[in-house]
Structure 1
Amino acid sequence: MEVLAGYAPLQIGIALLAAFGSAFVRGLTGFGMAILLVPILALALMPVDAVLLANFLSLFIGLIEIRRLMRGAERSAWMLCALVLLFTPAGLHMLAVTSPDIARLVIALIALSAFVAVLLPQRSRLEHGAATTGAVGIVSGLMTGYAGMPGPPVVPYYVGRNLPRETAKASMMLVFTCAGLAGLGSGTALGVLDWRLAMFALLLFPAVVLGNRLGDKASDAVSDPAWRTVVGLVLGGAAAAAILRLL
């Protein structure tokens, strides 16, 4: 209980519910944990703590699935991982020097941007070249550091193409696992990581595992068109909720 001494019961309750719900969405869609989790946590915790707590949870859940993700991911995921690792420190530095209110607004707008981007028409799997992949990786790294959300550029990159669902899910999850590692490494290097968050994350992790497993089972019963519809609804709901809470 000493680990939780710095957190109010309401903060702990919000974190538990957010962890379970966002992990369910992750298992169902292959993404969404950070996009849903960070805006909610940022209303109960300092934005930097919210981002780093989400990084811990993303890394933990990714590591228990890492073999499956490495087998199923598209090769482009490794390039995105490298760029995310490289550019995350700059994003986290920007967050550390931004006021909490402005950071919460920017995080909400980033969630909205993911919803808008995924509405774009699907493209062929061959269209994305090195320049597009590079731009997605750079922006994802900056967003990982600033908002704990690598997803807004990565989700449209994979979901917006005609890829098999399992390939898209594994690729996204691999990038998000790397993003969690990048965020924590950057937080340590910049001296903004409170290591109590690691214990807090471990206490939340059973809720994440349960939510992820339930979501993964539900995903098996969903067709590809329905899955893409759920992706859009999740992104839209997350963005709307984050903006409404700010207002």
Structure 2
Amino acid sequence: MELIAGYTALQIGVALGAALVAAFIRGLAGFGLAILIVPVLALALTPVEAVLVTNFVALFLGLLELQMMRQHAERSALTIGLLVLLTTAPGLILLAATPPDLARLLIAMVALSAFGAVLFPVRPETVPGPVATGAVGVTSGLLTGFAGMPGPPVVPYYVGRAIPRQVAKASMVTIFTVAAFAGLAAGLAIGVLEWRLLGLALLLFPTVLLGNWLGSLAFGRVSDAVWRGFTGIVLAAAAIAALVKLLQ
């Protein structure tokens, strides 16, 4: 039986469950929406659909958090965001040309890589140089297009430095909002953006908004040390889930 936007009850149920959990973690950690939701959605939808639906939802959330971004985001987020805009389309073109089973495998590997990247010791507060910042922007854009996951290079860039969690979260959210816009624009440009995906995203958004709000409440009640520990747990969980999927 097909329901709203041409999706079945099972597909919508899977999407709602994944959206609630991922949005709570995103509200608390500042990331995790795409890392957690895209692999789950890709089990019920095609990889391209999973990426684009997640981009819609991430953009909606970001537009509601513009004030937080303006107040706390680091200037480097603008540089990385610009590079994401320039490099997302090639990643999406590659995804559209990749067989779905292979794309699911590669997306799971991307989620796995995010955990390994934050195992390094916390670095000083100093902003990395232009080469490192540029590399983060380019790889984040490519991963936005291919996997809907700008986070794997971005999260270690901010969480791995001794900066306040408000600055890290606002900077990551800024980049992820730009990445969501870039992903949708690229999808429209290459002809893979179907407007029924907007219907599914709108269906998911109230659940995502609730989860993100609950996570944001928790964010304001934890210390920097607890927050950094939680981000590690989130990435570890995503890595384990990806590894289990690879071994099946």
Using the size of structure 1 for normalisation, the TM-score is 0.97
Alpha-carbon separation, structure 2, partners of 1:53 and 1:59: 10
> Is this contact kept in 2: 1:83–1:138, CA < 8 A?
yes
Residue 30 of structure 1 corresponds to: 30
> Is this contact kept in 2: 1:39–1:108, CA < 8 A?
yes
Unaligned runs of 5+ in 1: none
Alignment of 1:7-86 (within 5 A): 7-86=7-86
The number of residues matched between the two structures is 247
> Is this contact kept in 1: 2:26–2:212, CA < 8 A?
yes
How big is the shift at 1:210?
0.4
Residue 142 of structure 1 corresponds to: 142
What is the CA deviation profile of residues 100-132 of structure 1, one whole-angstrom value per residue up to 9, with x for unaligned ones?
111011111101111000111111121500000
2:163 pairs with 1:163: yes
How big is the shift at 1:245?
3.0
Alpha-carbon separation, structure 1, partners of 2:157 and 2:193: 30
Alpha-carbon separation, structure 1, partners of 2:243 and 2:210: 28
User: Is the deviation greater in 219-228 or in 135-144?
Assistant: 219-228
Sequence identity of aligned pairs in percent?
A: 60
How big is the shift at 1:238?
1.1
Aligned Cα RMSD in Å?
Answer: 1.3
Distance 1:5 1:137, change over 3 A: closer
SS of equivalent to 1:187: helix
SS of equivalent to 1:110: helix
Residue 220 of structure 1 corresponds to: 220
How big is the shift at 1:224?
1.1
How big is the shift at 1:208?
0.7
Q: Which amino acid aligns with 2:210?
A: L
SS of equivalent to 2:161: coil
Using the size of structure 2 for normalisation, the TM-score is 0.97
Residue 236 of structure 2 corresponds to: 236
> Is this contact kept in 2: 1:51–1:147, CA < 8 A?
yes
Distance 1:65 1:238, change over 3 A: same
Residue 208 of structure 2 corresponds to: 208
